[in-house]
């Protein structure tokens, strides 16, 4: 083999000083690597790479001295150059400059170590096609890295990078670049030169804008900008003709861009922004779209033109401000999933929402003719209407069993609202999006009928005892308030199935929730919760959804894996180290299995 001959012929690389060898690597592995060109040393607890690994193609193998009668299988002089080296999941704090002794490498994987820097010698690996240095502690990238012009995949995610070298555009053959979960505040304009890039992930950084030049990436099919500080998207993005998947979730967007040239766009994810308007211009070019995800925004209406999305299969509009749907939505031929929970829909009963997408679409189709003959559906005022009730929707109270006083920016709910209820059995109360600093005491008057209360987006700092007396309550939404705790008296809400406490100020998981055994869904994202009691959670045998995203959890107790009823467990955006993001990305079942594997025997 050429490398062995170079070593014997006095190759200058063969004369490098040899420090004390590190932890031994089994000779059998080295022998196999000389034949296959691949060496996997992952998960071996290595604090450094043994010198004989770097010199595997230079030094005469040990067996050549020990075994003088060998057959065809042991012809060490016919070894092949090492092309693939995996050093993942060790304890490496640095890589030696001796990495240049392996010039034939096409794959180098050192993810999940403790690297704080990379050697400039990486620039000598001119054959390298894949470099994975993710899940380390890198603060900078050596300029020499941009010399790797054959590189196709570069994985830098989950490090501590605050900038990237300006010369990144020299990596002209790059097809996959992942710099997510770093501290980047901008993207080099030279990215525009990456004409072969297919997948770009810049999620979970600190980007406030995207360079307009990014539109020059004519091969880009997947762009992930999740969880940054983007307020707008450059209009040039609309000219990216190959784009198929665009992720803009968890930013500060106030409107959707238009996409006149993105004829191939199949997935658009823009949930958890501040989008208020969805109009026809946003939709009319997206003929190929199959997934549209806009949950957790402030969208007030859905345009009739949504029916142009004839290939749409998934539409997620949960947790917006939508009060009415176009019935023509029922005519989308491919739609298989429609999420609408958390909207103040007036004409659609909650039990219908819970029956699933197909039943809902069938209902919408049945209403199309009604919508044509009587589009307003508001009954005329009658002689029974009292003067003081002129601004009260009696139709909602009597027919929909809904008491609504939302989006008024009111500091208190007028008494006339409660007076109007009289003996009507109101089941739903919506006082969201006001300026309430306390829960109206008169809400207790509805205790014999109400089962759904929405007090979200107010200024509540405590939950009143009157609310704790609504013994038929099954759904409670108090998100986006100033709550730090819940009263023990809430234990009386024995029928409560769903509670939304997102975007409050809880520092601990409210203890009373552990005792509400009918709970099926607990939404506690975007608080400051530092710990959870897994043993208490196991007693909640109906709990199917637990959302703890964006809290302050420093660790996830392994016993949480024994919560067998959990179907959805959301933990992203917490400071714990394990489970790692790769495990979280595999979904709830994988996370629970991982946690169970960590329970001490």
**367 has a pLDDT exceeding 60:** yes
**343 has a pLDDT exceeding 50:** yes
pLDDT above 70 coverage of the chain, percent: 89
CA dist 278 and 402 (Å) reads: 26
What's the pLDDT score for residue 9? 41
8 A C-beta contact, residue 148 and residue 173: no
Which residue did the predictor score with more confidence, 52 or 354?
52
Average the pLDDT over each of 110-124, 149-163, 225-239, 442-456 and give the range with the smallest value.
225-239
CA dist 262 and 300 (Å) reads: 26
**101 has a pLDDT exceeding 90:** yes
Query: In terms of Cα–Cα distance, which of 298, 306, 305 is closest to 323?
Result: 298
Q: Which residues contact 35 (CB under 8 A, 6 or more apart)?
A: 79, 80
Mean pLDDT value of segment 284-289: 86
What's the pLDDT score for residue 375? 43
CA dist 407 and 423 (Å) reads: 26
Average the pLDDT over each of 65-74, 167-176, 378-387, 556-565 and give the range with the smallest value.
378-387
CA dist 420 and 111 (Å) reads: 65
Do you know the residue count of the chain?
601
Q: Residue written as tokens 């549209």?
A: 292
Helix (H) or strand (E) holding 96: none
Per-residue pLDDT band at 537 (split at 50, 70, 90): very high
What's the pLDDT score for residue 575? 87
What's the pLDDT score for residue 359? 86
pLDDT digits over 24-58, tens only? 688 889 999 999 999 999 999 999 999 999 999 88
pLDDT digits over 450-509, tens only? 999 999 999 999 999 999 999 999 999 999 999 999 999 999 999 999 999 999 999 999
**15 has a pLDDT exceeding 50:** no
Per-residue pLDDT band at 394 (split at 50, 70, 90): confident
8 A C-beta contact, residue 184 and residue 207: yes
Per-residue pLDDT band at 63 (split at 50, 70, 90): low
8 A C-beta contact, residue 461 and residue 435: no
Mean pLDDT value of segment 165-188: 94
Q: What is the DSSP letter of 233?
A: -
Say if residue 579 is preceded by a cis peptide, omega within 30 of 0: yes
Mean pLDDT value of segment 519-534: 93
What is the pTM assigned to this prediction? 0.60
Work out the mean pLDDT of the chain and round it to a whole number.
86
C-alpha separations of 566 from 340, 517, 532 in Å: 22, 14, 15
CA dist 533 and 509 (Å) reads: 8
What's the pLDDT score for residue 381? 32
Q: What is the DSSP letter of 166?
A: G
What's the pLDDT score for residue 179? 97
Q: Which residues contact 564 (CB under 8 A, 6 or more apart)?
A: none
Per-residue pLDDT band at 356 (split at 50, 70, 90): confident
Q: Residue written as tokens 């409107």?
A: 255
Q: Residue written as tokens 């020990």?
A: 66
8 A C-beta contact, residue 180 and residue 205: yes
Per-residue pLDDT band at 371 (split at 50, 70, 90): very low
What's the pLDDT score for residue 384? 31
Cross-strand bridge partners of residue 109: 86, 132
Query: In terms of Cα–Cα distance, which of 136, 99, 100 is closest to 116?
Result: 136
**315 has a pLDDT exceeding 70:** yes
pLDDT above 90 coverage of the chain, percent: 62
Query: In terms of Cα–Cα distance, which of 99, 127, 128 is closest to 115?
Result: 99
Burial of 440 (0-12, 13-18, 19+ CB in 10 A): buried
Q: What is the DSSP letter of 224?
A: E
Query: In terms of Cα–Cα distance, which of 212, 252, 255 is closest to 236?
Result: 212
pLDDT digits over 113-151, tens only? 999 999 999 999 999 999 999 999 999 999 999 999 999
Instruction: Report phi then psi at 590, rounded to 5.
Output: -70, -40
H-only helix segments in 255-356: 280-283, 350-353
Domain with CATH 3.80.10.10 in the chain: 276-368, 394-597
CA dist 544 and 332 (Å) reads: 30
Which residue did the predictor score with more confidence, 20 or 166?
166
What's the pLDDT score for residue 22? 44
Beta strand extents in 206-284 (DSSP E only): 222-224, 245-247, 267-269
Q: Residue written as tokens 């200058």?
A: 12
Mean pLDDT value of segment 306-316: 92
Q: Which residues contact 14 (CB under 8 A, 6 or more apart)?
A: 6, 7, 58, 59
Mean pLDDT value of segment 392-409: 84
HSE, side-chain direction, 13 A CA sphere, residue 172: 2
What's the pLDDT score for residue 239? 81
What's the pLDDT score for residue 174? 96
At the second CATH level, the architecture of 276-368 is Alpha-Beta Horseshoe (3.80)
Which residue did the predictor score with more confidence, 247 or 397?
247
Per-residue pLDDT band at 380 (split at 50, 70, 90): very low
**4 has a pLDDT exceeding 60:** no
**CATH class of the domain defined by 394-597:** alpha beta
CA dist 340 and 352 (Å) reads: 11
Q: Residue written as tokens 């989006």?
A: 407
End-to-end, the C-alpha distance of the chain in Å comes to: 49
Q: Which residues contact 422 (CB under 8 A, 6 or more apart)?
A: none
**555 has a pLDDT exceeding 70:** yes
């Amino acid at each position: 083999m050429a490398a062995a001959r170079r070593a014997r012929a006095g190759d200058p690389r063969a004369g490098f000083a040899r420090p004390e060898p590190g932890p031994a690597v089994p000779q059998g592995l080295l022998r196999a690597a000389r034949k296959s060109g691949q060496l996997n040393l992952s998960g071996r607890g290595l604090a450094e790479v043994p010198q004989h690994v770097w010199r595997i193609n230079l030094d005469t193998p040990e067996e050549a001295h020990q075994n003088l009668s060998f057959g065809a299988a042991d012809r060490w002089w016919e070894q092949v150059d090492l092309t693939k080296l995996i050093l993942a999941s060790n304890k490496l704090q640095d890589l030696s400059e001796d990495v240049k002794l392996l010039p034939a490498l096409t794959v180098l994987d050192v993810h999940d170590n403790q690297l704080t820097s990379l050697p400039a010698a990486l620039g000598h690996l001119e054959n390298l096609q894949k470099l994975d240095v993710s899940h380390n502690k890198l603060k900078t990238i050596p300029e020499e890295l941009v010399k790797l012009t054959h590189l196709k995949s570069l994985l830098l995610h989950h490090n501590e990078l605050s900038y990237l070298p300006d010369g990144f555009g020299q990596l002209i053959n790059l097809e996959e670049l992942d710099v997510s979960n770093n501290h980047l505040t901008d993207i080099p304009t030279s990215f525009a030169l990456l004409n072969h890039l297919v997948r770009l992930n810049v999620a979970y950084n600190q980007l406030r804008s995207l360079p307009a030049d990014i539109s020059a990436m004519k091969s880009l099919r997947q762009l992930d900008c999740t969880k940054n500080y983007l307020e707008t998207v450059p209009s040039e993005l609309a000219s990216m003709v190959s784009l198929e998947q665009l992720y803009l979730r968890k930013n500060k967007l106030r409107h959707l861009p238009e996409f006149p040239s993105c004829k191939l766009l199949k997935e658009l994810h823009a949930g958890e922004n501040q989008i208020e308007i969805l109009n026809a211009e946003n939709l009319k070019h997206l003929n190929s779209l199959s997934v549209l995800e806009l949950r957790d925004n402030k969208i007030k209406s859905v345009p009739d033109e949504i029916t142009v999305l004839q290939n749409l299969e998934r539409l997620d509009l949960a947790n917006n401000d939508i009060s009415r749907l176009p019935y023509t939505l029922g005519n989308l031929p491919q739609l298989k999933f429609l999420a609408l929970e958390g909207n103040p829909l007036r004409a659609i009963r909650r039990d219908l929402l819970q029956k699933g997408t197909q039943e809902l679409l069938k209902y919408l189709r049945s209403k199309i003719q009604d919508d044509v003959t009587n589009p307003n559906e508001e009954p005329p005022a009658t002689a029974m209407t009292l003067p003081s009730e002129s601004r009260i929707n009696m139709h909602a109270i009597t027919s929909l069993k809904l008491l609504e006083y939302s989006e008024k920016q009111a500091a208190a709910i007028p008494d006339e609202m409660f007076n109007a209820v009289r003996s009507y059995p109101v089941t739903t109360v919506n006082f969201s999006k006001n300026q309430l600093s306390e829960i109206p005491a008169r809400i207790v008057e509805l205790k014999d009928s109400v089962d759904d209360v929405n007090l979200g987006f107010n200024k509540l700092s405590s939950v009143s005892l009157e609310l704790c007396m609504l013994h038929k309550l099954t759904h409670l939404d108090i998100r986006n308030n100033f709550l730090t705790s819940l009263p023990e008296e809430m234990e009386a809400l024995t029928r409560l199935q769903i509670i939304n406490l997102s975007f409050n100020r809880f520092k601990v998981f409210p203890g009373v929730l552990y005792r509400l055994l009918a709970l099926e869904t607990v939404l506690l994202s975007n608080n400051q919760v530092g710990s959870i009691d897994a043993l208490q959670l196991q007693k909640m045998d109906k709990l199917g959804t637990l959302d703890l995203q964006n809290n302050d959890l420093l660790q996830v107790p392994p016993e949480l894996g024994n919560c067998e009823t959990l179907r959805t467990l959301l933990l992203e955006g917490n400071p714990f180290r394990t489970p790692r993001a790769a495990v979280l990305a595999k979904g709830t079942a994988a996370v629970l299995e991982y946690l169970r594997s960590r329970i001490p025997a």
